[in-house]
Structure 1
Amino acid sequence: MNWIALTAGSTLEQIQKDSAQQPILIFKHSTRCSISATALSRLERAWQQGDVANTQTYLLDLIAYREISNQIAQVFGIGHESPQILLIRNGQCVFDASHWDIDYQDIKQKINA
């Protein structure tokens, strides 16, 4: 996967704009949590770029950028969890999952819907 590091809250506005042209996936990752590391690893191993064409992927380090996670919760109306995946389309979160519910097949189905 080609993760883009999400390190500035101002990027959320661009994500909302870009999501009108392509799906955007945000993975909120805690670098101190083994469940988060496992969920991220499982997603990366399963990810097939051809299955989810034109999807832009962002990775948020929750430990370093917790305030951005709070902004995400406010902007998209989704309560904070960790780990958590959000699928953004047309400026809105259309799918989210956390912990062991983060599943590549579910994500792929939502992206291609």
Structure 2
Amino acid sequence: MEKIDVIAQFEQLIKEKEAFFLLKHSITCPISAAAFDEYEAFLNEETNQTGYYLAVQDSRELSNYIAETAGIRHQSPQVIFFKEGKPKWDESHWKITKSNLAAIR
């Protein structure tokens, strides 16, 4: 799992990656901490999946940009699955679980 901080990094992922997960993480929220743990466990178990995250407090401009370009209302925590440059699935808060993430292809 790799942290991204700026729009250019996100745009590079969209261009280069066939599919990837992105977590919008709040570093001050206990619900987000639980979601982060589930996300990390999923990525550690599913070695064929690629995952990134951003800390909303550190990367507000990037977080807003993703919401606008993806057409998905911002939430935190929130996981978005991108495939072929487009958002194919998103979920937030307590619905971010290892099993829910594993069901996405």
Fold similarity call, TM over 0.5: yes
**SS of alignment partner, residue 94 of structure 2:** helix
Instruction: For residue 46 of structure 1, report the CA deviation from its aligned partner.
Output: 4.4
- Provide the residue aligned with 1:49 in structure 2: 46
Aligned residues: 104
- Provide the residue aligned with 1:106 in structure 2: 100
**SS of alignment partner, residue 104 of structure 2:** helix
Preserved contact between residue 41 and residue 98 of structure 2 (Cα < 8 Å): no
Distance 1:110 1:10, change over 3 A: same
Distance 2:39 2:78 in 1: 12
Moved >2 Å (runs of 4+): 42-47
Instruction: For residue 108 of structure 1, report the CA deviation from its aligned partner.
Output: 1.6
* 2:5 maps to which of 2, 7, 24: 7
Structure 1 gaps of 5+ residues are none
Distance 2:83 2:17 in 1: 5
- Report the AA paired with residue 106 of structure 1: N
* 1:69 maps to which of 52, 63, 79: 63
- Report the AA paired with residue 11 of structure 1: Q
Say if 2:11 is the partner of 1:17. Answer: no
Say if 2:80 is the partner of 1:86. Answer: yes
- Provide the residue aligned with 1:38 in structure 2: 34
Structure 2 gaps of 5+ residues are none
**TM-score normalised per structure 1:** 0.84
- CA deviation map 1:90-109 (0-9, x unaligned): 01000000000112222222
Identity of aligned residues (%): 31
Preserved contact between residue 81 and residue 87 of structure 2 (Cα < 8 Å): yes
